[in-house]
């Protein structure tokens, strides 16, 4: 599992075993290999796992710059279930201002099928200090 470019450890991402694949302010992607403990009582992938993967990918993108961002809003639309063992989330910047960044995150299974659409906004707290 590669650490995010920001060098800040996300303990929850590590707990879920999320793999950071690519990370810039404009776009980030993360991968998750589904484990038995990621499943709900019906055997499907738990919605909270899908949401978390999307949220982690969103955070990876907006914090890949010299800015320090915090999420202000997020929502998800679950589009289909999947029995695939692989999930990949890709976050893309869709708009920004001096203080806000807005992202769309698409979660696909290993067969390329769209599983969920997550949208989120982040507020820029300020810039990182050198060495942090």
> CB of 110 within 8 A of CB of 90?
no
Q: What is the pLDDT of residues 12-21, one digit of tens each?
A: 999 999 999 9
Is a pLDDT exceeding 60 seen at residue 3?
Answer: no
The H-assigned helical ranges of 43-109 are 47-62
> Is the per-residue pLDDT at 7 higher than 50?
no
What average pLDDT score do residues 6-29 get? Answer: 87
Structure-token match 């976050």, residue found: 91
Give the chain's length: 132
HSE-up of residue 118 (Cα within 13 Å, Cβ side): 29
pLDDT of residue 116: 98
pTM higher than 0.85, yes or no?
Answer: yes
Q: Give the HSE-up count for residue 83: Cα atoms under 13 Å, Cβ half-sphere.
A: 2
Q: How confident is the model at residue 65, as a pLDDT?
A: 87
pLDDT single digits (tens) 83-97:
899 999 999 999 999
């Amino acid at each position: 599992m590669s650490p995010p470019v920001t060098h800040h450890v996300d303990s929850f991402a590590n707990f879920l075993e999320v793999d950071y694949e690519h990370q810039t302010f404009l776009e980030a992607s993360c991968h998750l290999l589904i484990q038995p403990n990621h499943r709900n009582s019906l055997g499907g992938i738990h919605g909270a796992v899908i949401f978390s993967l999307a949220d982690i990918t969103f955070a990876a993108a907006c914090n890949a710059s010299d800015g320090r961002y915090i999420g202000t809003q997020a929502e998800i639309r679950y589009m289909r279930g999947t029995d695939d063992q692989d999930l990949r989330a890709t976050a893309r910047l869709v708009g920004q201002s001096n203080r806000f960044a807005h992202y769309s995150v698409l979660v696909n299974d290993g067969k390329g099928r769209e599983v969920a659409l997550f949208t989120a906004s982040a507020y820029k707290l300020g810039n990182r200090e050198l060495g942090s």
